[in-house]
A and B are shown apart, each in its own frame.
Chain A
Amino acid sequence: MSAGPYNYSYIFKYIIIGDMGVGKSCLLHQFTEKKFMADCPHTIGVEFGTRIIEVAGQKIKLQIWDTAGQERFRAVTRSYYRGAAGALMVYDVTRRSTYNHLSSWLTDARNLTNPNTVIFLIGNKGDLDAQRDVTYEEAQQFAEENGLMFVEASAKTGENVEEAFLETAKKIYQNIQDGSLDLNAAESGVQHKPNGGQAGAGGRATLNNSSAGQTRENCSC
């Protein structure tokens, strides 16, 4: 086999939240596929995407939960906050209502994630400047008041999409380094895979065993 299953040393779990139609799935698609998906269907419940990135020389696998924005799925998507190391909260710069709902999304995120979860605010559809309904400045102020990281991005052009995902990962990695994020805590949203990437075909079986045992320990408590 070519690439072993653990050619990365960390798994970070992300959740993408925000109103219906703000472009959550498109941001994810742009990030994982580097393509814009024009006619994106409504997400039913939840979708999933993954990509391996590099932060400070460490390979990190991002597992990203892309939640449905529709109100009827609100209950089921709520459960995905649990165990998320990063939350990307998205609004649409051309629709003020999606911006106004941010406080409700933020309440959910604060209530249901752990205190170390990095919350990143993304103003999507930044390419549609002519139809802008929310200014950069007011969103910037909202982010500052609530201690969020913030960027305006465009899933269409790809502008700032990489940055948003990577900055979140950097912040999480920084939290691990300075010890504020406890990897052993249940639902930290981060899994460490020691010796990730170095395991050959022979060593894989044992590595698998130990990691399976680890996850089980985490979950049973």
Chain B
Amino acid sequence: MALLDDENRLTVEFTSVSTGADFTEYNIIVHVGNVQWAVKHRYKDFQCLHQRLTTNHGISKHLLPPKKIIGNKDPTFIERRRIDLQAYLQGVVALMQRAIADELAEFLLLPQYEMLYLGRSLASDQRFTSHQKQTQLTVLEMHAVSTIELCASHPTSGGMHDMVQLAEGAARMRSLTITGSWHKWRESNIIPNELEFNFNLFKKLHMLHLQDCNVLKITDASSLRRSLVKLNAPGCGLQRICDLLLCDAVHRYFSEEDMEVLQSLPQWAPLKDLNLSNNAIASIDLSVSLCRKLETINLSGNKLSSLDYLTKLPYLISVVASNNSIVELPDLHTKLGNLVHLDLSRNKMRSLIGLACLYSLVSLDVSSNLITDIKEVEHLSKLPCLEDVVLTGNPVATIVDYRTKVLECFGSRCSEICLDLERPTQRELDKVAVLQALRSAKESNVSKLPVLSMTSPVLPLQVTASSTVLMPVPDLATAVEEATKLE
């Protein structure tokens, strides 16, 4: 990180010259410790700087190499001028090492790359001075705020005023987006995602959105744990959930045996909504139990093959796990209780048998999986609260009379089912009624055994009831005739 102190002095060097059609630019590399960045200036910029330095700071007028109007494109002249200007700037920098004038700081772009200067400019930035609904900061700026906060604890640094300004602004923020990057920051060798930052000044954040951030560089998230209701960390390259939830902990990986230790750690108490989409999470780990109040979790676009440890979340209502590598979820009702919304779209599921006892489910999206057989849909037929089912993009959706066949599986509840975001039409319902009647007629012909179901005793009874109303004579031939008429 670029931070000016006694160990990390500011130095400059002129590396090269770029000659344009009508002007010459000098490429200056600024060093602070091991951080460096490039600044480009023309001769007239030097003149401007020099003028301000002489009037405001008493720098000798004769230091700057003089202006030349004719023959200023001559390479030997440019080379000599480069050396002269370098000597000038190095001289000024050496002179001001203890107290860098603002003009010089600006000339060398310190407020863009050096943390104390960046922090100071943030302190007067409107993002910190005025109330905004939604604030955006870069990781670099977060790093600067954290640096100021740390430096303010040293009485000598004099960053106290900036710190108070920043603290006031940060404490006002409710919703914050932080953008990181693995690319070099502008013209420097700073990689933002290698910078550490903390949330000590952000006491009342309700929503935090981390975009392309390296969460492992968060050194303190304790204030977030107390206030955050919604946490988004999509596309942060996360491999484990604990890397985010325990980002500032020394020990992150807990097994079942360490459960007591894990439970003694501070909870993400108010957190209700967690979005971890488009990361590289291969499995859900125990750290989710730190978010006991969680209602919604989005894990789409990861590498999950199963849904574990979600039983630790008694308030969970909605799980989005689309675009993962889920092939099967055996006995899902033993892993997810009282779930209302489940999105398993764009996975590799062939069977729905594992969902057969998720009785609390209201909406289910299993679109774009590998479900081929209509019998798989029957596994959903006993879910008493189910209202929305999405099956498009499965091989099963291409079979003849797909909609009526699916709706038929739901028996008397078929009119309550919204399939692929469309309610059944009256025509479909009539057709389903005929199919159901046909089936029950067939069943009563083949065997007289009554269908008994412990889990949903009302269902088969109602099916027979409806069939008797519609079909007083359960005769196959007439039923077929009816069916063809409806066609």
Partners in one complex: yes
Residues in chain A near residue B47, CB distance under 8 A: none
User: Is B101 among interface residues, defined by CB-CB distance under 8 A?
Assistant: no
Q: A47-B357, A83-B338 are in contact. List 10 more A-B contacts (CB 8 A).
A: A45-B333, A46-B359, A51-B458, A76-B333, A82-B314, A205-B415, A208-B415, A209-B423, A216-B362, A219-B362
| In-complex Cβ contact of B314 among A45, A79, A205 (8 A) | A79
Max chain A Cβ within 10 angstroms of own Cβ: one of B337, B339, B412: B337
* Nearest A residue (CB) for B315: A82
Known contacts A2-B469, A76-B337, A212-B387; decide if A47 and B455 are in contact (CB<8 Å). Answer: yes
Task: List the B side residues contacting A130 at CB < 8 Å.
Answer: none
User: When the two chains form their complex, are residues A45 and B466 in contact, meaning their CB atoms are under 8 A apart?
Assistant: no
In the bound complex, CA of A81 to CA of B314 (Å)? 9
Q: How large is the interface on A (under 10, 10 to 19, 20 to 34, 35 or more residues)?
A: 35 or more
* Cβ 8 A contact of B341, one of A37, A205, A219: A219
**Smallest Cβ distance from A161 to chain B, in angstroms?**
15
Residues B412 and A3 in contact, CB atoms below 8 Å apart: yes
A75 at the interface (CB under 8 A from B): yes
Query: Which residue of A has the minimal Cβ distance to B459?
Result: A50
Give the B-binding residues of A (Cβ under 8 A). Answer: 1-3, 5, 29, 32-33, 37, 44-52, 63, 65, 73, 75-83, 112, 204-205, 208-209, 212, 215-216, 219
Are A80 and B362 also in contact (CB < 8 A) when A32-B457, A51-B458, A208-B423 are? no
- Chain B residue numbers with a CB within 8 Å of A73 are 334
- Whether B415 lies near A37 (C-beta < 8 A) is no
Q: Is the CB of A79 within 8 A of B315?
A: yes
Is B316 interfacial (CB 8 A cutoff)? yes
What residues of A have a CB within 8 angstroms of the CB of B429 in the complex?
A: 1
B465 in the interface (beta carbon within 8 A):
yes
Is B416 part of the contact surface with A, judged by Cβ < 8 Å?
yes
A3 and B462 within 8 A (CB) = yes
Query: Who on chain A is nearest to B417 by CB?
Result: A208
Query: Is the beta-carbon distance between A46 and B384 smaller than 8 angstroms?
Result: no
- By a CB distance below 8 angstroms, the chain B residues around A5 are 412-413, 415-416
Within 8 A of A (CB), among B208-232: none
- Report B-chain residues with C-beta under 8 Å of the C-beta of A219: 317-318, 340-341, 362
Neighbouring A residues of B336 by C-beta, 8 Å: 76, 79
List of B residues within 8 angstroms of A46 by Cβ = 333, 337, 357, 359
Report Cα–Cα, A51/B454, bound state, in Å: 12
| B386 → chain A closest CB, angstroms | 11
A-B contact pairs, 7 of them (CB 8 A): A1-B470, A2-B469, A33-B457, A63-B384, A75-B311, A78-B314, A79-B315
A83: nearest chain-B partner, CB-CB: B338
A33 touches B315 (CB 8 A): no
Let me know if B331 is at the binding interface, CB within 8 A. yes
A-B pairs, top 10 by smallest CB distance, nearest first, are A79-B337, A75-B311, A48-B359, A45-B334, A79-B338, A76-B337, A45-B333, A79-B314, A76-B311, A78-B314
Contact B384 A48 (CB under 8 A): yes
Q: Which residues of B contact A75 (CB under 8 A)?
A: 311-312, 314, 337
Q: Which of B316, B339, B415, B470 has the most CB of A within 10 A?
A: B415
Q: Binary interface profile of B, 311-346, with partner A (CB < 8 Å = 1, else 0)?
A: 111111110000000000001011111111100000
A111 vs B317: C-alpha distance in the bound complex, in angstroms?
A: 18
A3-B465, A75-B312, A208-B416 known; A215 and B387 CB under 8 Å?
A: yes
Shortest Cβ distance from B451 into chain A, in angstroms? 13
A82 near B338 with CB under 8 A, answer yes
The reply to whether B337 and A77 contact each other, CB–CB distance below 8 Å, is yes
Compute how far the CA of A148 lies from the CA of B412 in the bound complex, rounded to whole angstroms: 37
Contact A80 B454 (CB under 8 A): no
Q: Which of B377-411 contact A (CB under 8 A)?
A: 382, 384-385, 387-388
State in angstroms the CA–CA spacing of A1 and B462 once bound together.
10
Chain B residues with CB below 8 A from A79, complex form = 311, 313-316, 336-339
Interface centre among A65, A81, A212 (most CB of B within 10 A): A212
B418 in contact (CB, < 8 A):
yes
Check if B433 sits within 8 Å of A1, measured CB to CB: yes
- Is B456 an interface residue, CB under 8 A from the partner? yes
Q: Which of A3, A49, A76, A205 contacts B334 (CB 8 A)?
A: A76
State which residues 412-463 of B face A: CB under 8 Å: 412-413, 415-416, 418, 423, 429, 433, 454-458, 462
How distant is A68 from chain B, measured CB to nearest CB, in Å?
A: 8
Bound complex: CA A80 to CA B457 (Å): 21
With both chains docked as a complex, state the minimum distance between the C-beta of B137 and any C-beta of chain A, in angstroms: 29
> Nearest Cβ distance between residue A42 and chain B, in whole angstroms?
12
B360 sits at the interface (CB 8 A): yes
Give every chain B residue within 8 A of A81 (Cβ-Cβ).
314
Inter-chain contact B314/A112, CB cutoff 8 Å: yes
Which of the residues A2, A65, A76, A77 comes within 8 Å of B359, measured between beta carbons?
A65
Least Cβ–Cβ distance between B263 and chain A, in angstroms: 13
Distance A107 CA – B413 CA, assembled complex (angstroms): 37
By a CB distance below 8 angstroms, the chain B residues around A3 are 412, 462, 465-466
Provide the bound-state CA to CA distance between A204 and B425, in Å.
12
Centre residue among A45, A82, A204, A208 by max chain B CB count within 10 A = A45
